[in-house]
Amino acid sequence: MVPKKILLTEDEMPRQWYNILADMPTPMQPPLHPGTHQPVGPDDLAPIFPMPLIEQEVSQQRFIDIPEPVLEKYLIWRPSPLVRAYALEEFLQTPAKIYFKNEGISPAGSHKPNTAVPSAYYNKISGTKRIATETGAGQWGSALAFAGALFGLEIKVYMVRISYDQKPYRRLMMNTWGATCIPSPSPDTKAGRTILEQDPNSPGSLGIAISEAIEDAVTTPNSKYSLGSVLNHVLLHQTIIGQEAQKQLQKIGEYPDIVIGCAGGGSNFAGLALPFVRDKIAGKKIEVIAVEPASCPTMTKGPFVYDFGDTVQMTPLLPMYSLGHTFMPAPIHAGGLRYHGMAPIVCQLILDKLIEPRAVHQLETFAAGVTWARTEGHIPAPETNHALAVVISEAKKCKEEGKAKTILVNWSGHGLVDMMAYNAYFEGKLTDFELPDEEIQKSLKALANFPKPKL
C-alpha cells in the first residue's frame, strides 16, 4: 500500500530553527525609528519584547537551538504529518502529486502555536507576567492564550471587531485557556477611543488592533507585547514546518517542484517555504508561491516602501510591500489575511525573485475549500483556502501540460470555528472584491514623506 501519511518520530523532530538571514542574497534593510529615521536598536524594542526575542530578530546565526521546554511543549502536537492528497489528485484527474503539511492539528487549530509557545517561554524566563496582543481571525489570539496557559502568563487579546462578531467560538477558546478577549477598536486604549470617535461602527483592522495591544503593553506594569506574524523571529520559529517537511519528503525520495502557502503577515508561508528557499538560493529549480486575497493585495499591488506595522504609528518603520498603514481592508472572511503589510523577509525575497506573489478572489478560495473537504475530508480555514485555490489551479495546469509536478502546500489551519463563513458562502452572500487602484493611492498618500528603502 502506498503511504498516505509520512510521519516523523518525536526523536526525528528538528532541534533547531532555520534563520534565512544567514543566507539572504541581498541583506535586509533595517527597521527605522519613526522619529529619527535611524535603524532601531535593541533598547528601542526592549519596552515591548523580551531580550531573547530581540536578539533572535537581528541574529545572523544560520541555526538557532530550540530550548528544551519549548521542544517539550511542541510534542503536544508535533511533528505534524505530511499527507498525500490522493483523493484530490484523483478528483482533479491530475498527474501532479499533492502533499500537504497539516498544521491544523495543533490545539489552537493552526500553525500559530509554533511561535506562540516560544514567545510565551522567552517572556516567562525574562520575568514578564502579562502579554497583550491582537488577533485577526482569532487563530493567533487563541494560540497565545494556549501558550500563556502552558507557562502561567496572563493574556489579553484585542480581536478585530468584524472577526469578534463572526467567530464567537474563538473568543470562548481563549477564555477556556484563561485569556481575556475584547473587540477592537475598544474603549480600553487611547488608540481605540480615537478610532471609535471617528467611526463608532468601525469593523476594525489588524493595524488598529496592533496599535491597541502595543499601547496596552507599554502602559501596563510587567507587560509585554507579542506579534504572531511579520517579524523575523516569528518566521524563524515557524521554520520547524519546512524542516520537518524536508525530512518527510526525503524519507520517500521526493522533492517539491512547487511550494505554496497563503500569506497574511507571511509566517506560515515562510515557515514552510524558507528552508526550501535556502535550497533555491543554492541552485535548486523550484517555484515558491505566496498567495494573498485580491481584496487585500499587499504583495501584488502595494509598493515596496517604509511603512508602519500598525495604524496609529507605534511600531518602527518596516521595509515592506504595503497598502498603507491606514488602509482598511474589505470585510472578507479570511480575517487572518486582512493586513496592509507583509513580513520584510518575504518582501526582500520577492524583490530578489525567489518568491512569486499571487492574488486570488474570495469565491474561488471557498470553492477550493469545499472541494478539499469533499475529497480529503478536513475542512480548511478560509485563509488556508487561498493556498488551496492555487494548489488546484497548478494541479489543473499540470493536467493541461501533462506534467507530473510535485506540489507541497502548507495546510495552515482547520476551519471548524469558521463555519459561519462557509454558511455565508453556501447562502450566496459572499462576493469578490478587486481593490481599485485609486483606493490604494489614497491610503499611500500618508507615506509621502517617509524614508524610501533601496529597491
Ligand X SMILES: Cc1ncc(COP(=O)(O)O)c(C=O)c1O
d(CA 137, CA 334): 7
The residue assigned the cell 535586509 is 28
Residue among 258 and 262 whose Cβ is closer to ligand X: 262
Cell numbers standing for residue 232: 523575523
Task: Say how many residues make up the chain.
Answer: 455
Residue among 210 and 398 whose Cβ is closer to ligand X: 210
The full DSSP string for 408-425 is EEEE-BB-TT-HHHHHHH
From 166-174, 242-250, 260-268, 398-406, span contacting ligand X (CB under 6 A) = 260-268
Among 14, 50, 256, 266, the residue binding ligand X under the rule CB under 6 A is 266
Q: What is the DSSP letter of 186?
A: -
How many beta carbons lie within 10 A of that of residue 219, not counting itself?
A: 12
Phi-psi region of 348 (alpha: psi -120 to 50; beta: other; left: phi over 0): alpha
Give Cβ neighbours of residue 35 (< 8 Å, ≥ 6 apart): none
Residue among 383 and 394 whose Cβ is closer to ligand X: 383
CB of 278 to ligand X, least distance (A): 19
Name which of residues 35 to 94 contact ligand X (CB under 6 A).
Answer: none
Among 412, 422, 430, 453, the residue binding ligand X under the rule CB under 6 A is 412
* Site membership for ligand X, residue 229 (CB under 6 A): yes
CB of 169 to ligand X, least distance (A): 14
Binding mask 413-452 for ligand X (x = CB under 6 A): x---------------------------------------
Among 212, 244, 364, 383, the residue binding ligand X under the rule CB under 6 A is 383
From 154-162, 186-194, 257-265, 390-398, span contacting ligand X (CB under 6 A) = 257-265
Residue among 148 and 398 whose Cβ is closer to ligand X: 148
CB of 269 to ligand X, least distance (A): 6
C-alpha closest to that of 394 among 260, 266, 246, 245: 260
How many beta carbons lie within 10 A of that of residue 397, not counting itself?
A: 14
* Site membership for ligand X, residue 139 (CB under 6 A): yes
Name which of residues 328 to 357 contact ligand X (CB under 6 A).
Answer: 336-337
What's the N-to-C CA distance of the chain in angstroms? 51
How many beta carbons lie within 10 A of that of residue 368, not counting itself?
A: 23
* Site membership for ligand X, residue 267 (CB under 6 A): yes
E strands, 309-454, are 317-321, 356-360, 406-411
Among 264, 297, 344, 453, the residue binding ligand X under the rule CB under 6 A is 264
Binding site for ligand X (CB under 6 A): 110, 136-137, 139-140, 229, 262-269, 336-337, 381, 383-384, 412-413
